[in-house]
Amino acid sequence: MRRVTLTQFLIEQQRAGRINADLRLLLEVVARAVKAIAVNVSKGALAGVLGEAGTDNVQGEAQKKLDVIANEILVQANEWGGHLAAMASEEVETVCRIPFDYPKGGYLLLFDPLDGSSNIDVNISVGTIFSVLRNPPGDDEPQEQDFLQPGHQQVAAGYAVYGPATQLVLTVGNGVHAFTLDREMGSFIYTQPYMTVPEDTKEYAINASNARFWEAPVKRYVDELQQGKSGPRGKDFNMRWVASMVADVHRVLTRGGIFMYPLDEKNRDKGGKLRLMYEANPMAMLVEQAGGAASTGRERILDVAPVALHQRVPVILGSKDEVERVVAYHTGA
């Protein structure tokens, strides 16, 4: 069987006029960084990379050593290629600038270097999430303001999941495509073209320990699912919660379902739990590109006008009918 590599896939996307040479290079470099992160994640205790780094990130959360390592790998891989105007990372408070001795390009790269890092020490899947925007013309030294573009302006988005296999899932606005890392060859092989979120679902993902903090529409929706066959939905639902958004969303993209980190009494002051620019927007683009839907409960995620780099939002995404139902419960439609 002929194997198509990520490199070949990207060259074909360029030939078809869907991406230019700079965006191709950008995605190649992100993929290379992801391979380096995968090596570190898979070595675990052998490389002494587990545990706390002894520092807090901008969100006031304790950083794991691998949070810091993954961030450094992404920044160092991307700063010299000439394709970026600047970067922003969930782990860094301000805009990451391109060192003055390297050329600058037209794109902005945003990432969550290691999502789900509370799972690292227990050997459960973690991931990297990224989003690509255009640098607004005329701004040579991008400021935070230049990054604050709504998610529908993303030109590419994707994630890597470091599970039993390492997979890279990406979109450039033409469907969702998945690649699996062949560790012996060191290359990503095209394994799932045009992923689609199955419409019919019997699976939901939410951290149910927060149930007492949820708003009424979420309580109602989950309560109806839990009533199973004898309730208004007339069928039984299964629940899954990995607590790595990448792994939970990967499952939704693969076999359907709904993923929710809604607004609740605990996270209301912050606006939600998950980050708009590094988590919600890229995942929303992927899910929409796969035929699903993504909402805050009150608004399409990709239409949220960002006000801050590290802004948080409620996230409800997955199979379209289910997301629309949760939105209807919120809006009373």
Tokens matching residue 183: 């560790």
Residue with structure tokens 């993303």? Answer: 154
Question: Cβ(180)–Cβ(170) under 8 Å?
Answer: no
Residue 117 binds which of Mg ion, ligand AHM, none (CB < 5-8 A, kind-dependent): ligand AHM
- 27, two tokens: 């995605």
| Nearest-approach distance from CB 53 to ligand AHM, in angstroms | 13
Q: How far apart, in whole angstroms, are the C-alpha atoms of residue 155 and residue 107?
A: 9
Residue 207: contacted member of Mg ion, ligand AHM, none (CB under 5 to 8 Å, by partner type): ligand AHM
- The residues pairing with 187 across neighbouring beta strands, listed in sequence order, are 182
- Of the pair 28, 115, the CB lying nearest Mg ion is at 115
115 scored as a contact of Mg ion (CB under 5 A): yes
Q: x/- contact string, 52-71, with ligand AHM (CB under 6 A)?
A: ---------x----------
Q: Which is nearer to ligand AHM, 279 or 288 (CB)?
A: 279
The answer to whether 117 is a known ligand-binding residue is yes
Q: Does 267 bind ligand AHM (CB under 6 A)?
A: no
| Long-range contacts from 57-66, C-beta under 8 angstroms, 24+ separation | 57/90, 57/91, 57/92, 58/90, 58/91, 58/92, 58/93, 58/310, 59/90, 59/310, 63/91, 63/117, 64/114, 64/117, 64/120, 64/121, 66/40, 66/41, 66/114, 66/117, 66/120, 66/126
User: CA 125, CA 311: separation in Å to the nearest integer?
Assistant: 25
Two structure tokens written together for 273: 């739990």
Q: Is 144 annotated as a binding residue?
A: no
How far is 333 from 328, CA to CA, in rounded Å? 5
Residue 116 assigned to a binding site: yes
Select from 110-118, 181-189, 281-289, 322-330 the region that touches ligand AHM (CB under 6 A). Answer: 110-118
Tokens for 252, please give them. Answer: 């939704």
Taking CB under 5 A as the binding criterion, the range among 41-49, 113-121, 197-205, 296-304 that sits at the site for Mg ion is 113-121
Q: How far is CA 177 from the centre of its chain?
A: 14
Candidates 27-35, 76-84, 131-139, 238-246 — which segment interacts with ligand AHM by CB under 6 A? Answer: 238-246
- Exactly one of 91, 115, 146, 203 binds ligand AHM (CB under 6 A); that residue is 115
Selected from 28, 67, 91, 112, the binder of Mg ion by CB under 5 A is: 112
Ligand-binding site membership of 273 (annotated)? yes
At 231, phi and psi to the nearest 5?
-95, -170
Q: Which of 269, 289, 291 is nearest to 151 (CA)?
A: 289
- Whether 200 has a binding-site annotation, put simply, is no
Q: Is 131 in the site for ligand AHM (CB under 6 A)?
A: no
Q: Is 264 in the site for ligand AHM (CB under 6 A)?
A: no
Nearest position to ligand AHM, beta carbon:
245
Quick one: 10 or 315, whose CB is closer to ligand AHM?
315
Helices assigned H by DSSP within the chain? 6-15, 21-43, 65-78, 144-147, 216-226, 245-255, 281-289, 320-331
- Taking the least distance from each CB to ligand AHM, the nearer of 239 and 243 is 243
What is the closest distance, in whole angstroms, from the C-beta atom of residue 185 to ligand AHM in the complex? 29
Q: Residue 288, interface with Mg ion (CB under 5 A)?
A: no
Find out whether 118 is annotated in a ligand binding site.
yes
Annotated binding site: 90, 112, 114-118, 207, 273, 279
- Chain positions contacting Mg ion, by CB under 5 A: 112, 115
Annotated binding site for Mg(2+): 90, 112, 114-115, 279
- Chain positions contacting ligand AHM, by CB under 6 A: 61, 112, 115-118, 207, 243-245, 261
